[in-house]
Amino acid sequence: MLTKLAMTGFKNRWRDYLVLFSGLIMSSAIFYMFEALATNQSFLKENTGIGLVGIIFQFGSVLLTIITLVYIGYANSFLLSMRKRDYGLFMLVGARKGKIGQLIWLETLLVGIVATLAGILFGTLLTMGISQLLISSLGLTLHHLAAWYFPAALKTLLLYVGLFLLAGLFNLIALTKTPALKLLHSNDQPNRPQLKPVWQGIQIIGGTLLIAVGYWSMANLDKLQMLGIAIALVTIVMGTYFLFNAIFVGLIVWLKHFAIAHRGLNNFTLSQLSFRIHNYTKILSIVALLFALALGAITTGMGFHRQVPMMANASNAYDLALVNPTKTEQNQIKALKPKTQTNYHFKVAKKAVYYQASEFNTHPFTTLNMHGKNQLAFKAVTNSAKQLQKSQYSYQLGQLQTNGNQMKAAVFLTPSAYQKLAQPEKTLTVFATKDVTANLPAIKRLVKTAAKHDASYKVATNLGGRYGAYLQINSMYSGLQFMGFFLGVAFLAMLASCLMFKILSGAAADQHRYQMLDKLGTTQRQLTGAIRKEIAVLFILPGIVGVIHVLFGLQMFKFLMVTSPYTGIWLPFLIFAGLYLIYYLITVKIYQRIVLQ
């Protein structure tokens, strides 16, 4: 009988359960997506080459576990709030507390298991879809990437089911020890904020100091290494919560004393924000951290993606070189419309490659000489044979040779001395286009054609020039680019899930307040304006804190990048702001449909 009553309650509140399930599914999906990378050691080793990345992922797992713990705790409180009234009614009609407790525990566990399994499946599909999209659009080269990774699925299942077992036990104790009448009216008591100036002052000072220490540790990550990550994790998480807990409560109460609070429905909006203020501080702290993680990851991914062609362009003045190109290959080169194309003749001995000096005097060879301390600052210098022989950058000519000849010394001979060599003569055709990255597909086809008669062109490390450098550098940084964009998208989805879940979970309780305002003659325009302002505050506050975290947090990548991590930062910020705005508008639209029926 109780089971039938419970199912009836479920059917009557299916919209609320839909919000709960969708939030939990997204949460477990994002956790699985992160762990699919974090627990895949083969992927991390093959695609990063940076030992610190594995440690960063370990601390990231800890941070995401903390976020998950708070998120599930909040989801469980939402589930509990939905069922308190029902269970109170069950007690009033004579149901035994032991039976009700059993039903509570099973219901909580069932919700957790179903949502987690669905989340793992959804996370696998998301991993597969996002991975394919990033690989194809960014041209990444990845190894050992697996959309389905059993250790990640097992870790996700164990964590979520374990947390829901604890949540079910908590619900059992909380509900069976609460009187029936108190359960019936449990949702009618607002959590009114109270200012405690001394305690809030301590939290503000302490939170500011903790965050400052976290920023310092990230800026000195190259010296502190693993300790720096640990310090930043603890201090920034605690500092963010302290600041939100102290400032947000005070801000709401403080604003009510100003004249602007009494204009239109502003006082109602502030009261709405203060109604469940303590829950807001927790969720907003999480959202601020997720905002920083998502924006930081995308900014870093774009930074690594941007520096690949820059590093390739700084490696050589020429895109590629072919030895004894065929007629077909010459036509393919011509189709690229190169801005520079030169033929150099050479002969190969055991320890040296011999060139005709006169050809280099007539058509000087261009090298890229480093200019200043910046690895990407260079100037193009044209070299005659004599200049190239003495130049420390003569290795750039050797890079354009095929495998086996790249490490041999370049020797420049007079025509008579060159003619005396018995070795067969070969032709080295070098060329450069305006932009190697824009011509990657065409150059790839050219290399594929050359590989038919020379197997050395099948290996990327044998390809000199900008094209070969691009392939090698892109392979080295593909993992970092992928992780930046992948985790950025994942954390952005988690962020949206947290905010939307928090806002929409209270929509049903807020509905009667808007109905009362409607009966009092408030216009539809005023109601929608109040909703937009209320939700805008919940989006803007964590957004501001998240941006500040990112601006300081990018310091931890300065020793991993050859360019400044702040270069071109406006683009990821602009893209992220657009996505954030879309989430805001969607949330406003859904909330309006619920409360303004």
Residues 56-99 have pLDDT tens digits of: 777 778 888 888 887 887 777 777 766 666 666 666 656 666 67
What tokens does 515 get?
Answer: 């109905």
| Distance between CA atoms of residues 433 and 429, nearest Å | 13
* Lowest pLDDT segment from 65-79, 185-199, 318-332, 483-497: 185-199
Q: How confident is the model at residue 261 (pLDDT cuts 50, 70, 90)?
A: low
pLDDT tens-digit readout, 371-389: 766 666 788 888 888 888 8
pLDDT tens-digit readout, 297-332: 888 888 888 888 888 888 889 999 999 999 999 999
What tokens does 494 get?
Answer: 């988690």
Q: What is the pLDDT of residue 481?
A: 85
Q: What is the pLDDT of residue 16?
A: 65
Quick check: 233 and 62 in contact, CB under 8 A? yes
Q: H/E element holding 412?
A: strand 409-413
pLDDT tens-digit readout, 437-466: 889 899 999 999 988 888 888 877 778 889
Helix (H, G, I), strand (E, B) or coil at 11: helix
Helix (H, G, I), strand (E, B) or coil at 5: helix
What tokens does 3 get?
Answer: 């089971």
Largest CA distance in the chain: 113
Q: H/E element holding 427?
A: strand 426-432
Q: What is the pLDDT of residue 301?
A: 85
In terms of pLDDT, which residue wins out, 35 or 254?
Answer: 35
- Does the pLDDT at position 121 exceed 90? yes
Q: What is the pLDDT of residue 259?
A: 66
pTM: 0.78
Quick check: 282 and 74 in contact, CB under 8 A? yes
* Lowest pLDDT segment from 103-112, 213-222, 354-363, 478-487: 103-112
| Distance between CA atoms of residues 450 and 456, nearest Å | 9
In the sheet that 426-432 helps form, which strands lie side by side, from edge to edge? 320-323, 426-432, 340-348, 352-356, 409-413
Q: H/E element holding 325?
A: none
- Does the pLDDT at position 20 exceed 80? no
Residues whose CB falls within 8 Å of the CB of residue 373, separated by 6 or more in sequence, listed in order: none
